[in-house]
Amino acid sequence: MEDTIAAIATSVGVSAINIIKVSGSKAIEITNSIFKGKDLSKVNPFTINYGFIMENEEKIDEVLVSVFKAPKSYTGEDVIEINTHGGIACTNKILELLLTHGCRLAQPGEFLKRAFLNGKRDLLEAESISDLIEAKTSKARKMAMQGATGELSKMIKELREKLVTIISNIEVNIDYPEYDDAIVYTNELLDKNILEIKESLSKILEESEKGKIIKDGINVGIVGKPNVGKSSLLNRLLNEEKAIVTDIEGTTRDIVEGKIVINGITLNLIDTAGIRETDNLVEQIGVNKSKEIIEKADLIVAMFDSSRKLSEEDKEIIESIKDKKTITLINKTDLKQEIDLSMFKKEDIIEISIKNDEGINKLLDKIKEKFNLNEIDTSDYTYLSNSRQISIVKNCVSLSEEIYEANKNKVEVDLIQIDIQRLWEMLGELIGITYKEEFIDEMFKRFCLGK
């Protein structure tokens, strides 16, 4: 028998009303023991009940208690939600009472985990919910909500239906070669079908990459030789747009200097400024870091000094970013221009003077332009939002391209069918209806992220 778990479900200190969630076979019994009002074990499920949380004879808070009976609840177990508006102290007190009456404090993600284990959520939905919990901007929150309703699961299920139809027809052609009962799938006939599937998949991928931008933001790497004005730019941007978070600690994002939000999209600003200020050894690390930054960035802002000719170091930088999406920022336009701009793509050049506060908005507009941020703004498509999902869809897209090519090259249909089947399985993996060891590990890893 599983423990009954409890936790505060809202961010304490932010919202006016806090919700404490309790889940497990003893949820109702335990809550009942600290509740004065109707007998919660006798009320109809799915009702909201007014009353008081009591410690012995003392009223702790006036609350509304929602009762959900298994299996029709979020976790699939008996669930109680206590709505309190008594502030931090009261909320903590209620939680404490629940814990002393037999609940265990929920681990991060444990409610969601139970929901998944009880079959209340498929993996895609569960992941969307954990994204929702982590969502930093309102747009990311909206997107996570759409994922949670299973819209995407539905789309993928439909795609799988299509595939199954094709697969089974090909199987009939193989197993009953002498019978004319089924249409014979030829390369020609398959062509149109595969093209459709390929296009749906590309569409999902294209849209989902936007989804990743919404959820994770755009990584903007700022590169340039020392003293070109990187730190000033950073400070200027952060001051202007108000940093949400600074000095993010973490395993992979240790080089993020700050985040700003434009059009509801997070820009993760990454720069090497802080690293170089100590000694030479660190300088060396800085060079490696720069390479790493360039690797990870979705966009490079490369800064050059307008008042100097391009140095060898500048040219090295230009070489190292040639395959990336880049904005060329020519700083110090307040000084006499010495730089030769013919090496750069004209449409990517923005001239600014941080000192005189000129051209910053032009930079932001350029970023919007590069990522079609205005378009994302109006799009209400359901996105895939995490990298596991996106990498599976990417694999599906490339497999569908392989299938399409093979079919064009007249590879025997029964061989092509092998890949079509694989595609069907991969899509199943995406919505969590195949069992895979590594995938289960991955899943549990993800569950620990949110609440």
Partner 1 sequence: MYEVIVIGGGHAGCEASLACARKGHKTLLVTGNINNIADMPCNPSIGGSAKGIVVREIDALGGEMGINADKSHLQIKMLNSKKGPGVRSLRCQADKTTYPLNMLKTLQETSNLEIKEVLVREIIVENGEIKGVITEENEKIESKKVIITTGTYLNADILRGHNKQKGGPHGEKPSLYLSQSMQDNGLIMRRLKTGTPPRVLKSTIDYSECEEEKGDQELLSFSNFYDPTYDIDKQESCFLTYTNKKTHQIILDNLDKCALYSGLIVGVGPRYCPSVEDKIVKFRDKDRHQIFLEPERKNGEEIYVGGFSTTMPEELQEELIHSMDGLHNAKIVKYGYAIEYDAIDSTELNMTLETKKIKGLYTAGQINGTSGYEEAAAQGLIAGINASLALENKEPMILKRNEAYLGVLVDDLINKGITEPYRLLTSRAEFRLLLRHDNADIRLTEIGRKVGLINDEKYEIFQNKLKNIDKITEELSNTYIEGNERNNNYLENISSSKLQGKVNALELLKRPEIEIKDIEFLTEKEYDKKAIEEVSINVKYKGYIDKTEKEVEKMLLLEEKKIPEDINYDNVRNIATEARQKLSKIRPLTIGQASRISGVNPADITMLLVYLKKEYPYE
- The residue (of 44 and 435) whose beta carbon lies closer to partner 1 is 435
Q: Say how far apart CA 351 and CA 21 lie, in whole Å.
A: 54
The first and second tokens of residue 419, run together, are: 């890949």
What is the closest distance, in whole angstroms, from the C-beta atom of residue 413 to partner 1 in the complex? 7
- The residue (of 344 and 439) whose beta carbon lies closer to partner 1 is 439
List CB contacts of 172: < 8 A, sequence separation 6 or more: 181, 182
Residues near partner 1 (CB under 8 A) are 2, 117-119, 168, 171, 174-181, 409-415, 418-419, 421-422, 433-435, 437, 440
Tell me: cis bond preceding 71? Omega within 30 of 0 counts. Answer: yes
Is 22 within 8 Å of 4 (Cβ atoms)? yes
- The residue (of 117 and 360) whose beta carbon lies closer to partner 1 is 117
What is the closest distance, in whole angstroms, from the C-beta atom of residue 109 to partner 1 in the complex? 15
What is the closest distance, in whole angstroms, from the C-beta atom of residue 167 to partner 1 in the complex? 8
Q: Which residue, among 92, 127, 129, 133, has the nearest Cα to 6 in the 3D structure?
A: 92
- The residue (of 179 and 340) whose beta carbon lies closer to partner 1 is 179
What is the closest distance, in whole angstroms, from the C-beta atom of residue 153 to partner 1 in the complex? 14
List CB contacts of 225: < 8 A, sequence separation 6 or more: 305, 311, 313, 314, 317
- The residue (of 46 and 176) whose beta carbon lies closer to partner 1 is 176
What is the closest distance, in whole angstroms, from the C-beta atom of residue 435 to partner 1 in the complex? 4
Distances (CA, A) of 371 to 207, 377, 409: 12, 11, 36
What is the closest distance, in whole angstroms, from the C-beta atom of residue 425 to partner 1 in the complex? 9
- The residue (of 360 and 399) whose beta carbon lies closer to partner 1 is 399
Instruction: Look at the block and give the residue holding tokens 């590309």.
Output: 202
- The residue (of 117 and 318) whose beta carbon lies closer to partner 1 is 117
What is the closest distance, in whole angstroms, from the C-beta atom of residue 346 to partner 1 in the complex? 43
